[in-house]
Chains A and B, each alone.
Chain A
């Protein structure tokens, strides 16, 4: 299967050119060619009218093309200034040394161009994801890039950090830098892009000024069909209370958090990055237990100190970062899917392979994982399919309570819709669902009730059918 076929892409100085398409459409491959990570089999790249061959990221940078990856890779223990100027440190007088004062000054200058006020002497690991991204952009400015490629830059940013990013982008534009912007987020595209190019199945579908498109038409171009948005399920009568948490506290993360989950109901949990939502979920699932507080299941107080205990109590969880803690990368789809409930496929300690194959096949069919056979390694699948594998694994033990932490992060439109349908089905089956998400539309479309967390505490309980995005944001913003 060809990743790209006969794609023509043109970038103008000073423009923000968005690149959109479903996962597997070829966006990553296209930008990797531009960034010197892949060589094209056919075709050519021209910079300022001159043909260039980009055999490595180093050569791409010499031609003024810089890329900011989806997964940031700074050196965590070096300082901000050192990361900013990595590879281009100002020389000191003695050969081989670095002029530290010049290093700091230059780092501060670059950050100033973006209007970002960040300390340059702290180690990178002390920064938030959004701040790290700002540093990466400043780094690109420092290399005097004529073209900056950004792959899903706002995937892990809070709303406030997104604003800062957009401001930085506008500054770059004013400087004459051209930006290639890959994203799945509709609202962002129309705010920031000048032109939009859509790829589908490795081919170029359309390039158009953003002003000439709207969400519906854009989605149609991407998937080739019309998608209906809005509310995914009707409101239902909530069932019995199955889990209640009271006074959950962990110093430095969350304080006195209480919530209750009811059968057949989806409880949405909104909030900015760092509000403590994932940490609360980790406490409920036994990944990192709370220091104080009480959890009751069906009225009985329980202690959950390990995911195995949580699973025995009927709780399942899809964690936030599938790459880091979701699946075993080199293991097959089948083995990943059965990993949490291997005992069901066993007679005593011995695995019954036929039973396992069967069980896995059924689970895979339910969530619609697309892979070339269930023997394929999960790391080779697209993001959406990887997430479906994690879902299958979580749902196989048939948990009564399902916790979902950012279930559709980094997933294309088509797969997202499928997962939303899956989540709705879970609730229809009578399960209690806790849905943590940073995408407001998703929360409002799926939740029956909505809790907002702010700086480690629950700040409001809202009605998703009537509340506006601005109101939710208001309760989520720090006071």
Chain B
């Protein structure tokens, strides 16, 4: 999918939707089926729930989208969520520090781990799959060390409010929206954003064009780490503790959402809006399965089948488009 030409806002939106039409249709179909089976699905309260529940996965997914665009991968997301949550919780006891401190500390801790990932990949030449796998294990251990194996509780209400609502809109969802807008803007309007696509599209050509490929990859990992840190702080606020066991498996959910959204695992193609669609699709499926009280055993299977189906439908639509010369 080539970058859409830089024309009017409306034209770009219609191009983006057209490019992701398969997933959009899948989302509408699934939502319609759910609405028929459980009319409550479409209630404002439930939809607000869905949006609230996908926020954390959404922030992670936006972060890892950038790494995937450069042709790398980050498997340490879940563990970073845990360790940054623990760090933030330690600094968030009532009356200890102003609200900005635990939030900043969580984000910086995430960025630091991301930087380590970046160094191991760019300087030591370790493939990102292995490097971030190592970080996944190490960060989990660090979370257990920092928390002594127990959840860090006694969190000040000002931080827990971060997971609450303002005027009926969940704050985590607003945070996700802000993050998505910033990253989307960056990808389109900053030199660095363009370079992410170039490095993922053809690393050799990017280098021959004078781009500092290693620096670009490093930046991607730091950004992803920082956003994982932000997700960790939001999760800690949502469960009012810093949990060393939090976030297990979150990286797979995030990457699944990104891939559903059309970003290629090989890099160079994709973007934030597709990721948000993928996140939404997975959230709707999870919510629907709970509403329908599908037994736990079957929920995993159903989720997997629907995800594969949605991606398959989308790819069919894409290749059909290519043959028609779209």
Contacts and interface: CB of A to CB of B under 8 A. Distances in A.
Interface residues of A, number: 37
A229 B133 CA distance: 60
A402 to B, nearest CB: 14
Interface string B1-17: 11111100000000000
B198 A330 contact: no
Nearest to A354: B6
A206 interface: no
Interface stretch (A150-158, A212-220, A331-339, A450-458): A331-339
Contacts of B202: 324-325, 327-329
B198 A375 contact: no
A377 interface: yes
A328 B198 contact: yes
A340 to B, nearest CB: 4
B181 interface: no
19 contacts: A308-B210, A310-B210, A327-B202, A328-B197, A329-B268, A330-B269, A331-B197, A332-B3, A335-B198, A339-B205, A342-B191, A346-B191, A350-B191, A356-B6, A374-B5, A375-B3, A377-B1, A377-B2, A393-B209
Contacts of A310: 210
A330 B208 contact: no
A52 interface: no
A351 B5 contact: no
B211 interface: yes
A339 B5 contact: no
B45 to A, nearest CB: 41
Nearest to A393: B209
B204 A307 contact: no
A319 B208 CA distance: 8
Given A327-B205, A357-B6, A311 B210 contact: yes
Contact of B2 (A317, A325, A332, A343): A332
Contacts of B205: 324-328, 339
Contact of B191 (A287, A317, A330, A343): A343
B151 interface: no
Interface of A: 285, 287, 306-308, 310-311, 317, 319, 324-332, 334-335, 339-340, 342-343, 346, 349-351, 353, 356-357, 373-377, 393
B201 interface: yes
A353 B6 contact: yes
Contact of A308 (B188, B189, B190, B212): B212
A330 to B, nearest CB: 5
Contact of A375 (B5, B208, B211): B5
A339 B191 contact: no
A139 to B, nearest CB: 29
Nearest to A312: B210
A339 B2 contact: no
A77 B75 CA distance: 30
A331 to B, nearest CB: 5
Contacts of A307: 207-210
A331 B2 contact: yes
Interface of B: 1-6, 188-192, 194, 197-198, 201-202, 204-212, 268-269
Given A350-B189, A351-B194, A325 B208 contact: yes
Given A334-B5, A376-B2, A329 B209 contact: no
A342 B194 contact: yes
Contacts of B208: 285, 287, 307, 317, 319, 325-326
Contacts of B207: 287, 306-307, 325
Contacts of B269: 330
A342 to B, nearest CB: 5
Contacts of A346: 191
A113 B30 CA distance: 63
A326 to B, nearest CB: 6
B201 A340 contact: no
B206 A328 contact: yes
A22 B122 CA distance: 43
B6 A349 contact: no
A333 to B, nearest CB: 9
A349 B190 contact: yes
A349 B2 CA distance: 23
Contact of A330 (B1, B6, B194, B206): B1
A331 B196 CA distance: 12
A337 B3 CA distance: 13
Contacts of B204: 324-325
Contact of A331 (B188, B212, B268): B268
A166 B178 CA distance: 65
Contact of B209 (A339, A374, A376, A377): A339
B5 A332 contact: yes
B68 to A, nearest CB: 14
